[in-house]
Amino acid sequence: MTENDKNPGSSGLKKIYNLTAGRRIWLIAVGLLAMIVVLMILLASNKSGASAPAGTLSTFKARKDDLTITVTESGSIKARNSIDLKSEVEGRATIINIVPEGSYITTEDVNKGKVLVELDSGDLKEQLSQREIDFTTAEASYAQAKEAYDIQVKQNESDISAAELKVKFALMDFQKYLGETLANRLIEIVAEANDPNADIGTVINVNSLLDDPNSLGGEASQRLGELHDNILLAEEQLKEAQNKLDWTIRLREKQYVSETELQTDRLSVESLEIKYGQAKTNLNLFNVYDFSKQTQKLLSDYYESKRNLDRTYAKARSQLAQARAQLESAKSRLDLQQDRLDKSKKQFAACTMKAPGPGLVVYGSSLNPWRRYSNEGLIAAGEQVYQRQTIISLPDTSEMMAEITVHESSVDKVKPGQKATIVMDAFPDQVLHGEVIKIAPLPDQQRGWLSPDVKVYTTNVGIEGTHDFLKPGMSARVEILVEQLPDVLIVPVQVVANRGGRKICFIVKGGRTEEREVTTGLFNDTYVQIADGLQAGDDVLLNPPRITDTKQEPRRQVADKSRKSQPQTPASPGEAQAEPIVAQAKQGRPLMTDPNFAGPPGMTPVDFNQLDDQTKERMKQFREKMQRGEISLDPNQMDEQARERFRKFRNRSREQSDGAATRQAP
């Protein structure tokens, strides 16, 4: 029994893995050889076409002729000078009356002030009355604020004067208590400390001022004298009472006085002792407390009055600024109400639109093709218009112009001053003449919004003369003469092809096609100037081949020789399974059987359908460029950068195929 018979599940897994590996190899082979197959098919078709007889090819004989370079575009007729009457009423307004479209306004109508448009002004009239009331109220508020400001100025003067008097009186009280000299000296000492809020006791020992009583003046000196006098008087009275008590004691011993008299004298002595002690205590209290307290209080009152003066100044400035702000606010409100009143008057006047100048009456909705076929923005009696909307345009028909849009591929050819011919669609037999007067510096934004891939530039072409049959909005076709080249070599524009950055033509010579590099000049819609590379009489192919074989055979031979010189290695399983596909491609049979399949060669329909829409579209564009011959898959024709991108794409395809096979394996 074999190992597979023992483990039938393992055998099944190996079969699935082998099947998956085969599918992986198939994907690798398809990815590598698809592009080579397409290249071989295209080369084979080009070789068969290159050797075709000259009689079966469509050719053009190069010739010398006059080449006229023009730019032709369609547009519409407009007036060079036009007056637009726009609604100046904010929001929306209803048209009450309007002159008929097509009317012609004369100079006499302008002088008489003919009314062209009348808008509904009912709401604006009511608003104007309210604005007048608001203005009157604001005017009264301004007058009141002006009076309040003047009152505040006078009040500030009174408050400042009162605060200055308080400072003066506080200084006088301080000088009155200590004397002018000592008071001024203490103020200087505190000022030198540079801290008016500091305690005077920390700056100077106030009690030390009593050491020199002669330095004191004012009430402090007077009070100190009274206290000393009270002590002396109490002391003398106590001595006298003590002497009397001594005599009374002696007399009592001899029974000359009664006991009552003795007690009376003793009480008198005790009373005077108390009085004497009180006098000394009062002096001590004055020295220790009262003098220092009163001195610091008066000095503090002086500095507090100065601080109050500063506060008064600040308060006066603040109140004056507040009064000024209220005055300015009232003035601003007055100005605002004045502006609103003027605006309401202007809005009310804007409801009546008079003729500013002569011209043809054209409604604004007729100038806008988008509003012409919709109800929005319609100009008629009873319809609403919005601010800045053009209601009437008065074009001056004496000077007209054609407005066209020039494609970006031709705008560099058009210059101001170039001559042009204008043909009206309504009058095809009338050929008008003019010149380019203006080219827009930027593309038309509205056209860019509708077709973002198309860039056109608005160009104005003035029309010479005055023509009564011209009406604004008429369709016209303008042909601008860019340049006139006499007797130059010309060929049709389709015979020139771009190959690798070179411009080439294919001439038929001796029954075979020959590639010829050329130098081109100016061109129009039909012919292009050949400056070098061709001669008059050369037969040029009208349909150049998509991919040329020119100069490819030597490269291919060199590549074959280099491959033969390299040592041969055994083929890998993937290459072995790819050999039938190579044989199929060499026989010219297509690899894809679905004619509607738009993917690149070598990709199966299942793989292509698994891609997103953006990648599918890029694949389609890639294949179309291959069919037109704009892209070559031959590595010998690729530059180094293109070969590197192709190599990365091939390796990425292999990795994706290997990853898909691994995910499918158990």
- Would you kindly state where each structural domain of the chain is located, as residue ranges? 3-45+552-664, 59-81+398-542, 85-120+351-395, 141-346
Provide the pLDDT for residue 650. Answer: 52
pLDDT of residue 374: 53
pLDDT of 643 reads 55
User: Beta 431-439 vs 390-395: how paired, if at all?
Assistant: unpaired
Q: Round to whole Å and give the CA distance between 188 and 336.
A: 57
- Residue 255 has a pLDDT of 83
The predicted pLDDT at position 425 comes to 93
What number is the average pLDDT over the span 259-271?
A: 89
Taking only the tens place, the pLDDT of each residue in 421-465 is 999 999 999 999 999 999 999 988 766 555 677 789 999 999 999
- What torsion, rounded to 10 degrees, do the Cα atoms 37, 43, 46, 51 define? -130
The class that CATH gives domain 59-81+398-542 is mainly beta
pLDDT tens across 303-317, in order?
899 999 999 999 999
> Does the pLDDT value for residue 348 go beyond 60?
yes
CB of 466 closer than 8 Å to CB of 398: yes
Q: What's the pLDDT tens digit per position in 613-655?
A: 655 566 666 666 655 555 555 544 555 555 555 555 555 554 5
Is the pLDDT at 541 greater than 70? The verdict is yes
Q: 572 or 518: which carries more pLDDT confidence?
A: 518
Position 613 scores a pLDDT of 61
Residue 569's pLDDT is 38
pLDDT on residue 657:
44
Q: pLDDT exceeding 90 applies to what percent of the chain? A: 39
Q: Do 403 and 458 touch, CB atoms closer than 8 A?
A: yes
141-162 pLDDT, tens digit each: 999 999 999 999 999 999 999 9
Comparing CA positions, the residue from 334, 322, 328, 330 lying closest to residue 153 is 322
Report the pLDDT value the prediction gives residue 145, as an integer from 0 to 100: 94
Return the higher-pLDDT residue of 52 and 98: 98
Across 204-216, average pLDDT: 75
How many C-beta atoms surround the C-beta of residue 258 within 10 A? 12
Q: What mean pLDDT do residues 341-362 have?
A: 91
Q: What DSSP designation does 34 have?
A: H
Distance, in Å, from the CA atom of 327 to the CA atom of 249, rounded to the nearest integer, reads 93
pLDDT, mean of residues 526-537:
92
- DSSP structural state of residue 507: E
Does residue 87 surpass a pLDDT of 70? yes
3-class SS of residue 18: helix
CATH number of 85-120+351-395: 2.40.50.100
pTM of the model: 0.43
474 three-class SS: coil
**Of 613, 577, 584, 579, residue with least CA distance to 601:** 584
Task: Report the C-alpha gap between 226 and 478 in whole angstroms.
Answer: 125
Both tokens of residue 497?
Answer: 């092809």
Between 552 and 530, the more confident residue is 530
CB 63 within 8 A of CB 371: no
pLDDT top residue among 612 and 112: 112
Q: What integer pLDDT is reported at residue 116 of this predicted model?
A: 93
**Range of lowest pLDDT (33-37, 132-136, 557-561, 637-641):** 557-561
Among residues 111, 78, 117, 87, which one has the least CA distance to residue 358?
A: 111
More confident residue, 57 or 278: 278
Q: Give the Cα separation of 541 and 549 in Å (integer).
A: 16
